[in-house]
Amino acid sequence: MAKIVIVGGVAGGASTAARLRRRDELAEIILFERGEYISYANCGLPYYIGNVITDRDRLFVQTPEGFAARFKIDVRIRSEVTGIDRKAKRVTVIDLKSNKTYEESYDKLVLSPGAEPVKPPIPGIDLDGIFTVRNVPDTDRIKEYIKRNKVRRALIIGAGFIGLEMAENLHRRGILVTIVEMAEQVMTPLDFEMAAEVHQHLKAKNVEFYLKEAVTAFESRLGRLVARLSGGKELQVGLVILGVGVRPDSALAREAGLEIGGRGGIKVDEFLQTSDPDVYALGDAIEFPHPVLGKPMSVYLAGPANKQGRIVADNIVLGNKRRYRGSIATAIAKVFDLTVAATGLSEKALRAEGIPFVCSITHSASHAGYYPDAQPTSLKIVFSPEDGRLFGAQIVGYKGVDKRVDMIASVLKQGGTVYDLQEIEHAYAPPFSSAKDPVNIAGFVAENIIGGLVKIVHWHELNEEELSRSFILDVREVEEYKLGKIEGAENIPLNSLRDRLKELPRDRRIIVYCAVGLRAYLACRILSQNGFSEVYNLSGGYKTYEFVTEKQANEDIFQGDVIGKDNNIYQTAVEEA
Ligand code: FAD
């Protein structure tokens, strides 16, 4: 009878344990979990803080007792594995209830210890009221702190997925939210112009945020926390959430002499086996080659951790039969009314790797425009200029972003191309999509670019020199043009273009734009077929251009402490719950 010891009882650990039991009724399975809870919904924690999820019990997919009973697993909570003797095949465990230490032997060991939140060495970081959000006790502490201190203003450091989810949920509770982000944009998996759309949305929601700023120190002053920013400003807040990222919790593996990769994750092979054949590892703690890049990466997502659990269990029971193929980090988040998603590699990641790419931005409606409530969807794809192989995609929109990112992710994961995007067959009726889904459209546009039917230019190429050298042609209607335009652009609405070709220079580059790129594409085709050779369509059109040229950050909006005066936005008093 095999004896399997698992370290970590949440996403990866619990999935492994359950699958092991389904595969092997006789195995002895011991699951060690440092905390009090197993198999809980980390991903739901921000929504519990925001009182979207009101029943705390719903966070627990399984209780230790329920899990033990259903799967006949020896679940030991509040038990931390502190050492591994690989030679003797034993782990050292400290029972955190009694503080007693003991050893347990194993035939196979599974490590799923997760990731730990990064706590930067900022003076004052350990002050009361500064929290990270990793687990249920963190969440309980935050909720209790908000209630006890009647928190009215919160600071979130780091604008990643969790930071923004926390921003939304604290805002929902009537708390004024400020975000400080060191980068020039929120959400690093996005490229700047896609993040710029999120910035504009956060502004509309009256979230205060600072970009390219860091917190350099915390202080406690008159019962308030004071955060000093790199630019010299001081923010007085009631609560601080640190969301600056996580790193693989690989200390135990490192101390046991297991191979650790360059990114600090436990090194595993395609069977999720570590450098010791009797030890498997999975989840946030590992690093594994990225399917597109081929370079080791850590992916901090629940989907891969849960699916890896199944592979590890099968490989332990069957002998290494199932191969892990890696994750392209398909992720999604709700940011107030927006849905933001990404899969694969961004433009900036490819640029950093020196991989040649082309990108294209399209704006489509979430479903047929004639059916009520169609909403805009911005979609960026990045692909190879040679064969159209997809590298990555980013989507910012409202309805249907989830299914579109999943459609693209499944093509990308199979090594597919932009031509495959064209052929995706989707379910269509007006309330759900259009006969050509936004994903198909992205594929069509990419083919037009690769095939030379249209040349494109990007917003970041429109610098002063380019704008003065080129003829900028706006083919929108006059009314649209009057509402806002690219500096120096001439307006010839598309429908009159054929009659006004004489007004265009034949010796200059012509950059054409419209609202989103479609009319400009038609204009480019008219011009090219009338002998204009240097004609370029502005990818993403004026819409993307406007997102990036508007002010990005949203500083100082709470100056003078507007609490109680801004009834339109902050109507909700801090709830008692
Ligand atoms: P975990 O699920 O973190 O489990 C690791 C467990 O191991 C921990 O409970 C820890 O206490 C225990 N442990 C560690 N060391 C020891 C030891 N030595 N002895 C005993 N026990 C130990 N992912 C998404 O895909 N979508 C989301 O929307 C999303 N939202 C998230 C929101 C929050 C607030 C957080 C914190 C994470 C979120 N994630 C999300 C990430 C997702 O939860 C993780 O990727 C996933 O849980 C990783 O699984 P894991 O098994 O590797 O680690």
Whether ligand 1 lies within 6 angstroms of the CB of 300 is answered as yes
pLDDT band at 566 (very low <50, low <70, confident <90, very high): very low
Q: Give the lowest-confidence range in 54-68, 189-203, 328-342.
A: 54-68
φ, ψ of residue 93 in degrees (nearest 5): -125, 140
| Rg of the chain on CA atoms, in Å | 27
CA nearest neighbour of 5 among 312, 212, 346, 421: 312
- Ligand 1 pocket: which of 106, 161, 254, 301 to mutate (most atoms <8 Å of CB)? 301
Quick check: 131 and 155 in contact, CB under 8 A?
no
What's the pLDDT at 61?
Answer: 85
Alpha helices of 391-437 — where are they, by DSSP H? 401-413, 418-423
Q: What is the pLDDT of residues 269-312, one digit of tens each?
A: 999 999 999 999 999 999 999 999 999 999 999 999 999 999 99
What's the pLDDT at 571?
Answer: 39
- Stated as kind and residue range, the H or E segment containing 46 is helix 45-49
Task: Judge whether residue 439 has pLDDT over 80.
Answer: yes
Whether ligand 1 lies within 6 angstroms of the CB of 112 is answered as yes
Whether ligand 1 lies within 6 angstroms of the CB of 32 is answered as yes
Quick check: 291 and 328 in contact, CB under 8 A?
yes
Quick check: 504 and 488 in contact, CB under 8 A?
no
- The catalytic site residues sit at 43
**Residues near 325 by Cβ (< 8 Å), separated by ≥ 6?**
270, 291, 413
What's the pLDDT at 80?
Answer: 98
- Stated as kind and residue range, the H or E segment containing 11 is helix 11-23
Average pLDDT score over the chain: 95
| Size (the chain), residues | 577
Q: What is the pLDDT of residues 129-171, one digit of tens each?
A: 999 999 999 999 999 999 999 999 999 999 999 999 999 999 9
What's the pLDDT at 560?
Answer: 54
pLDDT band at 62 (very low <50, low <70, confident <90, very high): confident
Atom of ligand 1 nearest to the CA of 45: 34
Whether ligand 1 lies within 6 angstroms of the CB of 104 is answered as no
Atom of ligand 1 nearest to the CA of 135: 36
pLDDT band at 559 (very low <50, low <70, confident <90, very high): confident
Whether ligand 1 lies within 6 angstroms of the CB of 110 is answered as no
Atom of ligand 1 nearest to the CA of 252: 18
High-pLDDT (> 90) share of the chain, %: 94
Q: What is the pLDDT of residues 389-412, one digit of tens each?
A: 999 999 999 999 999 999 999 999
- Stated as kind and residue range, the H or E segment containing 361 is strand 358-365
- Say how many Å lie between the CA of residue 31 and the centre of ligand 1: 15
Task: Judge whether residue 573 has pLDDT over 90.
Answer: no
d(CA 327, CA 329): 5
Q: Give the lowest-confidence range in 257-261, 399-403, 562-566.
A: 562-566
User: Which tokens in the block code for residue 318?
Assistant: 């069957």
Q: Is 404 left (phi over 0), alpha (psi -120 to 50) or beta?
A: alpha
Place of tokens 């595969």: 23
pLDDT band at 576 (very low <50, low <70, confident <90, very high): very low
The torsion angle over the Cα atoms of residues 56, 57, 58 and 59, rounded to 10 degrees, is: 70
Number of other residues whose CB lies within 10 A of the CB of residue 85:
12
d(CA 106, CA 2): 8
11-23 vs 302-318: helix crossing angle, rounded to 10:
30
Q: What is the pLDDT of residues 16-47, one digit of tens each?
A: 999 999 999 999 999 999 999 999 999 999 99
